[in-house]
Protein backbone atom coordinates (compact mmCIF):
# COMPACT_ATOMS: atom_id res chain seq x y z
CA UNK A 1 0.00 0.00 0.00
CA UNK A 2 1.20 3.49 -0.79
CA UNK A 3 0.20 6.78 0.76
CA UNK A 4 -0.35 10.03 -0.98
CA UNK A 5 2.61 12.35 -0.60
CA UNK A 6 2.29 14.32 2.65
CA UNK A 7 3.53 17.39 0.81
CA UNK A 8 0.31 17.45 -1.21
CA UNK A 9 -1.72 20.29 0.23
CA UNK A 10 -5.29 19.19 0.88
CA UNK A 11 -6.52 22.08 3.01
CA UNK A 12 -9.97 23.20 1.81
CA UNK A 13 -9.76 26.91 1.04
CA UNK A 14 -12.28 29.44 -0.17
CA UNK A 15 -11.99 32.83 -1.81
CA UNK A 16 -14.62 34.96 -0.13
CA UNK A 17 -15.54 38.26 -1.65
CA UNK A 18 -18.02 41.08 -1.22
CA UNK A 19 -21.01 40.61 -3.51
CA UNK A 20 -21.80 44.35 -3.79
CA UNK A 21 -18.20 45.14 -4.76
CA UNK A 22 -18.29 42.30 -7.28
CA UNK A 23 -21.47 43.65 -8.83
CA UNK A 24 -19.74 47.05 -9.07
CA UNK A 25 -16.90 45.43 -10.98
CA UNK A 26 -14.36 45.17 -8.17
CA UNK A 27 -12.87 41.98 -6.76
CA UNK A 28 -12.65 42.63 -3.04
CA UNK A 29 -11.91 39.51 -1.03
CA UNK A 30 -9.30 37.04 0.09
CA UNK A 31 -8.53 33.37 0.63
CA UNK A 32 -9.72 31.82 3.90
CA UNK A 33 -9.72 28.42 5.54
CA UNK A 34 -13.00 26.77 4.52
CA UNK A 35 -13.72 25.38 7.99
CA UNK A 36 -14.32 28.90 9.31
CA UNK A 37 -15.80 30.42 6.14
CA UNK A 38 -19.02 31.25 8.00
CA UNK A 39 -17.09 33.35 10.52
CA UNK A 40 -15.60 35.69 7.93
CA UNK A 41 -17.10 39.17 8.26
CA UNK A 42 -17.55 41.98 5.80
CA UNK A 43 -14.85 43.79 7.81
CA UNK A 44 -12.43 40.93 7.11
CA UNK A 45 -12.71 41.41 3.35
CA UNK A 46 -12.96 45.23 3.21
CA UNK A 47 -10.46 46.07 5.92
CA UNK A 48 -10.78 49.29 7.88
CA UNK A 49 -12.97 50.93 5.26
CA UNK A 50 -15.85 48.57 5.70
CA UNK A 51 -19.14 49.87 4.34
CA UNK A 52 -21.36 47.53 6.28
CA UNK A 53 -24.58 49.25 5.24
CA UNK A 54 -24.90 48.05 1.67
CA UNK A 55 -21.87 45.75 1.49
CA UNK A 56 -22.97 43.07 3.92
CA UNK A 57 -23.31 40.03 1.68
CA UNK A 58 -20.35 37.70 1.24
CA UNK A 59 -19.99 35.03 -1.40
CA UNK A 60 -17.53 32.23 -2.18
CA UNK A 61 -16.34 32.93 -5.72
CA UNK A 62 -13.61 30.31 -5.85
CA UNK A 63 -12.37 27.37 -3.82
CA UNK A 64 -9.81 24.60 -3.81
CA UNK A 65 -9.75 21.09 -2.33
CA UNK A 66 -13.54 21.00 -2.12
CA UNK A 67 -14.96 18.32 -4.43
CA UNK A 68 -17.82 20.32 -5.95
CA UNK A 69 -17.90 22.77 -8.82
CA UNK A 70 -18.94 26.37 -8.81
CA UNK A 71 -19.66 29.15 -6.40
CA UNK A 72 -21.43 28.77 -3.08
CA UNK A 73 -22.43 30.68 0.01
CA UNK A 74 -20.03 30.79 3.00
CA UNK A 75 -22.28 28.58 5.16
CA UNK A 76 -22.15 25.78 2.60
CA UNK A 77 -18.38 26.21 2.23
CA UNK A 78 -17.95 25.96 6.01
CA UNK A 79 -20.04 22.78 6.08
CA UNK A 80 -17.78 21.26 3.40
CA UNK A 81 -14.67 22.41 5.23
CA UNK A 82 -15.75 20.85 8.51
CA UNK A 83 -16.85 17.64 6.80
CA UNK A 84 -13.49 17.24 5.01
CA UNK A 85 -11.63 18.06 8.22
CA UNK A 86 -13.20 14.98 9.83
CA UNK A 87 -10.85 12.67 7.93
CA UNK A 88 -7.10 12.51 8.17
CA UNK A 89 -5.32 14.80 5.74
CA UNK A 90 -3.82 11.79 3.92
CA UNK A 91 -7.31 10.36 3.28
CA UNK A 92 -8.78 13.58 1.86
CA UNK A 93 -7.76 12.95 -1.78
CA UNK A 94 -9.59 9.60 -1.60
CA UNK A 95 -12.65 11.21 -0.05
CA UNK A 96 -12.69 13.91 -2.75
CA UNK A 97 -12.35 11.35 -5.56
CA UNK A 98 -15.21 9.36 -4.03
CA UNK A 99 -17.46 12.43 -3.99
CA UNK A 100 -16.41 13.53 -7.48
CA UNK A 101 -17.30 10.08 -8.83
CA UNK A 102 -20.93 10.91 -8.00
CA UNK A 103 -21.28 7.36 -6.71
CA UNK A 104 -20.89 8.14 -3.01
CA UNK A 105 -23.07 7.94 0.06
CA UNK A 106 -24.34 11.33 1.17
CA UNK A 107 -25.42 12.38 4.62
CA UNK A 108 -29.17 12.28 5.08
CA UNK A 109 -29.66 15.77 3.67
CA UNK A 110 -27.61 17.64 1.12
CA UNK A 111 -24.47 16.71 -0.76
CA UNK A 112 -22.02 16.19 2.08
CA UNK A 113 -20.50 12.71 2.12
CA UNK A 114 -21.08 10.33 5.00
CA UNK A 115 -17.68 9.90 6.64
CA UNK A 116 -18.61 6.63 8.34
CA UNK A 117 -19.69 5.15 5.00
CA UNK A 118 -16.46 6.41 3.44
CA UNK A 119 -14.35 4.77 6.14
CA UNK A 120 -16.30 1.54 5.84
CA UNK A 121 -15.75 1.30 2.09
CA UNK A 122 -12.30 2.75 1.48
CA UNK A 123 -9.66 0.02 1.13
CA UNK A 124 -6.64 2.19 0.53
CA UNK A 125 -4.42 3.53 -2.21
CA UNK A 126 -2.68 0.92 -4.36
CA UNK A 127 -0.50 0.83 -7.47
CA UNK A 128 -3.11 -1.36 -9.19
CA UNK A 129 -6.27 -3.23 -8.24
CA UNK A 130 -4.35 -6.48 -8.80
CA UNK A 131 -1.90 -5.45 -6.08
CA UNK A 132 -4.81 -4.91 -3.71
CA UNK A 133 -6.28 -8.29 -4.69
CA UNK A 134 -3.04 -10.18 -4.01
CA UNK A 135 -2.65 -8.46 -0.69
CA UNK A 136 -6.23 -9.39 0.22
CA UNK A 137 -5.53 -13.00 -0.77
CA UNK A 138 -2.65 -13.02 1.70
CA UNK A 139 -4.79 -11.48 4.43
CA UNK A 140 -7.61 -14.00 4.10
CA UNK A 141 -5.24 -16.94 3.59
CA UNK A 142 -6.75 -17.78 0.21
CA UNK A 143 -4.01 -20.25 -0.68
CA UNK A 144 -3.07 -21.21 2.85
CA UNK A 145 -2.15 -24.88 3.01
CA UNK A 146 -2.02 -25.23 -0.76
CA UNK A 147 1.33 -26.73 -1.79
CA UNK A 148 3.55 -24.29 -3.66
CA UNK A 149 3.76 -26.51 -6.74
CA UNK A 150 -0.04 -26.24 -7.05
CA UNK A 151 -0.46 -22.64 -5.88
CA UNK A 152 1.74 -21.39 -8.70
CA UNK A 153 -0.93 -22.46 -11.17
CA UNK A 154 -3.55 -20.31 -9.45
CA UNK A 155 -5.17 -17.95 -11.96
CA UNK A 156 -4.55 -14.56 -10.33
CA UNK A 157 -5.86 -12.63 -13.28
CA UNK A 158 -9.24 -14.38 -13.28
CA UNK A 159 -9.54 -14.19 -9.50
CA UNK A 160 -8.69 -10.49 -9.45
CA UNK A 161 -11.12 -9.83 -12.32
CA UNK A 162 -13.99 -11.55 -10.49
CA UNK A 163 -13.15 -9.82 -7.23
CA UNK A 164 -13.26 -6.43 -9.00
CA UNK A 165 -17.03 -6.79 -9.49
CA UNK A 166 -17.46 -6.09 -5.78
CA UNK A 167 -15.28 -2.99 -5.83
CA UNK A 168 -15.08 0.47 -7.32
CA UNK A 169 -11.68 1.71 -8.37
CA UNK A 170 -10.84 5.32 -9.14
CA UNK A 171 -7.64 6.60 -10.71
CA UNK A 172 -5.43 8.87 -8.66
CA UNK A 173 -4.17 11.70 -10.90
CA UNK A 174 -0.87 11.41 -8.99
CA UNK A 175 -0.62 7.71 -9.89
CA UNK A 176 -2.14 4.50 -8.58
CA UNK A 177 -5.76 3.84 -7.69
CA UNK A 178 -8.16 4.38 -4.82
CA UNK A 179 -9.99 1.15 -4.02
CA UNK A 180 -13.52 1.11 -2.53
CA UNK A 181 -15.54 -1.93 -1.51
CA UNK A 182 -19.12 -1.86 -2.83
CA UNK A 183 -21.58 -2.46 -0.01
DSSP letter assigned to residue 34: G
Q: How many residues bind Zn ion (CB under 5 A)?
A: 4
Report 26-55 residues binding Zn ion (CB under 5 A): 55
- Kindly tell me which residue out of 21, 105, 143, 163 binds Zn ion, with binding defined by CB under 5 A: 21
Q: Shortest Cβ distance from residue 13 to Zn ion (Å)?
A: 21
Quote the least distance from Cβ 30 to Zn ion, whole Å.
12
| CB-nearest residue to Zn ion | 18
Residue 18 near Zn ion by CB under 5 A:
yes
Least distance from Zn ion to the Cβ atom of residue 72, Å: 19
Q: Of the candidates 4, 10, 14, 20, which one interacts with Zn ion according to CB under 5 A?
A: 20
Which of these segments, 13-21, 81-89, 96-104, 126-134, binds Zn ion (CB under 5 A)?
Answer: 13-21
For helices 156-163 and 129-140, give the axis angle rounded to 10 degrees.
100
94 is a site residue for Zn ion (CB under 5 A): no
Q: Shortest CA distance to 92 belongs to which of 144, 42, 35? A: 35
Which of positions 105-164 make contact with Zn ion (CB under 5 A)? none
Phi, psi of 125 (to 5 degrees): -105, 125
Pick out residues in 50-69 that bind Zn ion (CB under 5 A): 55
In the bound complex, what is the minimum distance in angstroms from residue 20's beta carbon to Zn ion? Answer: 5
Q: Is 2 left (phi over 0), alpha (psi -120 to 50) or beta?
A: beta
Please report how close the Cβ of residue 62 comes to Zn ion at its closest, in angstroms.
17
List of residues 6+ apart from 12 with CB closer than 8 A: 33, 34, 35, 63, 64, 65, 66, 77, 80, 81, 84, 85
Distances (CA, A) of 141 to 25, 60, 134: 65, 51, 10
Q: Which residues bind Zn ion (CB under 5 A)?
A: 18, 20-21, 55
Amino acid sequence: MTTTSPSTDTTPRVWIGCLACYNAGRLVGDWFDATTADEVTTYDVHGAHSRADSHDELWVFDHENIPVRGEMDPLTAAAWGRCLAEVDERLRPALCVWVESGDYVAESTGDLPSISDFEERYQGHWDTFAEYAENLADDIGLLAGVPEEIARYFDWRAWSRDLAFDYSTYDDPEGGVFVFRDL
